[in-house]
Amino acid sequence: MSIAKQKILIVGGGSGMGLALARRCIDAGAAVVIAGRGEDRLRQARDALGTPAGLELAVADIAREDQVAALFGQIGELDHIVSTAADIEGAYRLLPEIELEAAQRVVESKLYGPLLLAKHGAPRLAAGGSMTFVSGIAAYRPAPRGSVVAAVNAALEGLVRALAVELAPIRVNAVSPGWVDTEIWAQVAGERKQQVLDAMADRLPVGRIGRPEDIADAIFFLLCNGFTTGTTLHVEGGHRLV
């Protein structure tokens, strides 16, 4: 199925995997709306994409229901909804150090946000439309300091399966990335980022860390494949095997 001339909302499209997906979809002839909380970052993303004519920007916090409702009022009808958004600042902590506020931000960005996008976005989707959300390897290979993210990723995949049933024939899927070289790792590992990523690359069967484009390709597949729903697509370089 071609997505040429279709309209796609990408929440988190201002950087990383979302930005790579926006580029992929624009190259395929789609009209793209990238949404996020920071207007400056969205403008930088627009510049990085070459200010294409089919690109719109929308400022919204998907943890706020009023802003989600306003977002869909602004962009109108569309064909696909994708969210790569994640607020994990302060979330990677050992259990005694976890602050509830940081945990709540993860829940709001990766669980409540997709729930609200589905609630307000489903009525806007065309026949044959889809939603795709991003979970992560932490649900399958949890590590010390990662309990909150592991729990939320697992919950999101449960939500995806339930929405695929309730919203049918709208397709609802998840992509579960492994370790991908994005700016989030600066929050997780700080100055040790490259050392940590290199060590994981040595462990993985594919011999490298993921790139944003790897995840964009996986999401793009789910946008185009009309026979896939309620599924988690694992794109993790074999991480679940080691």
Of the candidates 77, 79, 76, the residue with the CA atom closest to the CA atom of residue 129: 79
User: What is the rounded distance in angstroms from the CA atom of residue 199 to the CA atom of residue 107?
Assistant: 29
Which helix (DSSP H) or strand (DSSP E) does residue 149 occupy?
Answer: helix 147-166
Q: What angle do CA 203, 209, 210 make, to 5 degrees?
A: 135
Report yes or no: 162 and 122 within 8 Å, Cβ to Cβ: no
Report yes or no: 132 and 80 within 8 Å, Cβ to Cβ: yes
Q: Is 147 among the residues known to form the active site?
A: no
Within 8 A by CB and 6+ apart from 212, the residues are: 16, 17, 19, 20, 180, 181, 182
Catalytic residue, candidates 83, 130, 135, 176: 135
User: What is the rounded distance in angstroms from the CA atom of residue 130 to the CA atom of residue 170?
Assistant: 5
Report yes or no: 43 and 57 within 8 Å, Cβ to Cβ: yes
What are the residue numbers of the active site?
A: 135
